[in-house]
Amino acid sequence: MVIRRGGAQDVRFLRDMLHHAYYWRERVPGSLVSRYVRGWGRPGDTAVIALENGFPIGAAWYRLFTAAEPGYGFVDERTPELAIAVVPSKRGFGVGEELLQALLERAREAGFEALSLNVEPGNPARKLYERYGFQVVEEGPEAWTMRARVASTPTADQGHEGTEELTPDGM
């Protein structure tokens, strides 16, 4: 598996991944979920894509939101919100963890202090997020908002398995 930077050419795949990441919110109008990729390329937009045999199998990305148009896991206007999804046939093989590690490293390099996300309490990915320092900051009726300080999140060389290869994508 290879993990590379995402770019404008990946917006269609990111949109597809939104359906996997937010499948439990299908009753929510598409325009609310699409805010995670609409107009991709604005300041703060960052993505990584997992490829297997040259085909995309997962993505993780973050985006800054405003208080006027927040995401589901909005904390503040300085904290990007993370979204992550892996195609169903590739779940349970560590793809999500490698994507999360790569995206956390990007956030550190970009100088962000923290990342936030939104997750259902029963979602198995919640345990992954907790291992990487995400803590609940708000409990909603259907989902929790979690936040982790980027500087204090574990990296692969701090005890987490996984290797990644980041390749340039022409950005």
5-55 pLDDT, tens per residue?
999 999 999 988 988 776 645 555 555 678 889 899 999 999 999 999 999
> How much of the chain, in percent, has pLDDT values that exceed 90?
67
Q: Classify residue 137 as left (phi > 0), alpha (psi -120 to 50) or beta.
A: alpha
Residue 160 has pLDDT above 90, yes or no: no
CATH of 2-158, one of 3.40.630.30, 3.40.190.10, 3.30.1330.60, 3.40.47.10: 3.40.630.30
Confidence label for 123 from pLDDT (cuts 50, 70 and 90): confident
pLDDT number for residue 166? 35
Q: Is this prediction's pTM over 0.85?
A: no
**CA atoms of 169 and 36, how far apart (whole Å):** 21
How far is the C-alpha of 83 from the C-alpha of 36, rounded, in Å?
8
Tokens of residue 118, six digits: 């939104």
pLDDT at site 19: 80
* pLDDT score at 118: 93
The full DSSP string for 101-162 is: HHHHHHHHHHT-SEEEEEE-TT-THHHHHHHTT-EEEEE-SS-EEEEEEGGGS--GGGT---
